[in-house]
Amino acid sequence: MEQTPARLTAKPSWLLTQLAVHAHRLASDGFGEVGARGYHYRILAALAEFGPASQTELGRRCNMDRSDVVAAINELAEGGFVERTPDPQDRRRNTVTLTKSGVRQLQHLDRALDKVQGDLLEPLPAEDRRTLTDLLTRLLSHHQQG
């Protein structure tokens, strides 16, 4: 950052943006090493936590565009990690369900992402990591409400 103007490096918005780019690259690389993408993790995590859902629900829960949801579910279904079946209430809609293989894949992706978190936050002690996570959560929550 020695060549970056001090006006920028003193701004939290600039710092967050720079760190977000770095974090995204680390996460993409980490998921790539295990043959997955961040979208796969989002969908598997939502299914594990909330149970079967429509593609539309998954898009909302995972903050993903509909076309990205469809592409990711197609890839996950090809790998046997999710099953897509017609919704008995509305045959025009599909219900996506996590498979046993999907649970194992999610655990695998959790380990990959935990390593990424460790790499990203390496210079911070555990207490500072918790504090940073709490502060970021408060900021995000505030801005999502408004």
Q: Return the pLDDT at 123.
A: 96
Q: Where are the alpha helices (DSSP H) in the chain?
A: 6-9, 12-33, 38-50, 55-62, 66-78, 100-120, 126-145
Q: CB neighbours of 98 closer than 8 A, spacing ≥ 6?
A: 44, 47, 48, 52, 81, 82, 106
Rounded distance between C-alpha atoms, residue 121 and residue 118, angstroms: 5
Rounded distance between C-alpha atoms, residue 107 and residue 105, angstroms: 5
Over residues 101-118, mean pLDDT: 96
**Residues 32-60 pLDDT 10s:** 999 999 999 999 999 999 999 999 999 99
Average pLDDT, the chain: 94
- In the β-sheet with 94-98, what is the strand arrangement from edge to edge? 53-54, 94-98, 82-86
Q: Return the pLDDT at 146.
A: 64
91 pLDDT higher than 90: no
Q: CB neighbours of 84 closer than 8 A, spacing ≥ 6?
A: 73, 77, 94, 95, 96, 97
Burial 15-34, CB ≥16 within 10 A → b, else e: eeeeeeeebeebbeebbeee
Q: Return the pLDDT at 113.
A: 96
Q: What is the pTM of this model?
A: 0.88
Q: Return the pLDDT at 56.
A: 93
Q: Return the pLDDT at 90.
A: 81
Radius of gyration of the chain measured on its C-alpha atoms: 18
Q: Return the pLDDT at 92.
A: 83
